[in-house]
Amino acid sequence: MNVLHIDSGILGEHSVSRRLTAAVVAQIKSEQPDASVTYRDLVANPLQHLSGAHLMAANAKPEDVDAQIAADNVQGAAVLEEFLAADTVILGVPMYNFSLPSQLKTWIDRIAVSGKTFRYSADGPEGLAKGKKVIIVSTRGGHYSAGPAAVMDHQESYLKAVLGFLGVTDIEIVRAEGLNLSADSKIEAISEAERTISGRANLRLAS
């Protein structure tokens, strides 16, 4: 099994999402020692935001493309290939300002490619990245999974929408929320998420 491990939390060793994605990977390796894991840290090695120049370069002659733009597109192609090759994708996704980190959005812009991960047909859009398992490790300072605040969730809801558009329907969420409410709330949220991971109560892996 090929596993793609993505981190986008900006807090380094203090990041709860990074702690939990590492726990998911450890759980996978304990059950499937032969699993191949590819790691990408979108903070330590950020992707360039997609621009018109990047898109136009795809159809331009190589000699007419700026060297930096060409290098960015080569990196983007590598990111796409990592995603396509993965059976299971682990996404570390902290909520920032009700949405996801901009670093992760740049990654999504590089994998959402017409003709590669989706296409438009006479019947409408079709996702081409079928058969993958995505485990979203979602961390939040407050509570947004239920109640009035749920309408402010543009993190998990966006990810499920865009992944579904790409054809990924096997999506599991490991969630730790209420992290900023109190020290006790943080401890309990992390512990509950870790129990989910180690106990496999809700976590299923791709075969």
Return d(Cα 131, Cα 135) in angstroms, integer: 13
Residues at the binding site for FMN are 15-17, 95-98, 139-142
**Contact assessment for residue 88 and residue 5, using Cβ atoms and an 8 Å cutoff:** no
Residue 177: half-sphere exposure toward Cβ, Cα within 13 Å:
18
CA 11, CA 22: separation in Å to the nearest integer? 15
- Crossing angle, helix 16-31 and helix 183-199, to 10 degrees? 20
Paired sense of beta strands 133-139 and 88-94, if any: parallel
Binding site: residue ranges?
15-17, 95-98, 139-142
